[in-house]
């Protein structure tokens, strides 16, 4: 199976949503989640749930305590330079971003890190995009 960064990005994102997301608050009102979910569903349709589950079973999870916030990282050996990072929404002093009024710490927000650069899901390329 040949996956693109966008494919793996959607798998990492949905793995987080399905296993750790405690609150569907989103800064972009769920637009990124809708794009990711749509792409993920196409992968499941193309490769089957069993194949995607086998990939998800090999996802590496890492928790990290920061100065103000905790963070979770999800990665896979197929794309060693691609990480999906989630930062908790409530800092150690109990502060949260504007518009977020819940007590849950893990939400539908996050970012992709490729070689330590923040990358929007829209900017992750499919292999088909690279052929053009």
The pLDDT value recorded for residue 18 is: 95
Q: How far apart are the first and last CA of the chain?
A: 21
pTM, two decimal places: 0.82
pLDDT average, residue stretch 105-118: 61
What total of structural domains would you count in the chain? 1
| Rounded Cα–Cα distance for residues 69 and 50 (Å) | 35
Integer Rg of the chain from CA: 15
> Structural domain of residue 61, as residue ranges?
5-121
DSSP, residue by residue, 33-79: HHHHHHHHHHHHHHH-HHHHHHHHTT-EEEEEE-SS-EEEEEEETTE
Residue 130 lies in a domain: no
Residue 91 lies in a domain: yes
Residue 33 lies in a domain: yes
The pLDDT-based confidence of 114 (bands split at 50, 70, 90) is very low
Q: Judging by beta carbons within 10 Å of its beta carbon (0-12, 13-18, 19+), is residue 100 exposed, middle or buried?
A: middle
Residue 25 lies in a domain: yes
pLDDT average, residue stretch 56-84: 91
Reduced to 3 states, what is the DSSP secondary structure of residue 27?
coil
- Mean pLDDT in the chain? 83
The pLDDT value recorded for residue 122 is: 67
């Amino acid at each position: 199976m040949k996956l693109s960064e966008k494919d793996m990005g959607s798998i990492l994102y949905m793995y987080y949503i399905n296993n750790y997301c405690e609150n569907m608050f989103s800064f972009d009102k769920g637009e990124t989640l809708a794009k990711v979910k749509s792409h993920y569903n196409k992968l499941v349709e193309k490769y089957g749930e069993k194949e995607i589950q086998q990939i998800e079973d090999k996802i590496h999870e890492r928790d990290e305590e920061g100065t103000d916030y905790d963070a979770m990282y999800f990665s896979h050996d197929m794309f060693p330079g691609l990480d999906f990072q989630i930062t908790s929404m409530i800092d150690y002093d109990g502060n949260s971003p504007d518009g977020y009024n819940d007590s849950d710490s893990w939400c539908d927000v996050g970012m992709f890190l490729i070689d330590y650069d923040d990358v929007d899901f829209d900017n992750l390329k499919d292999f088909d995009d690279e052929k053009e």
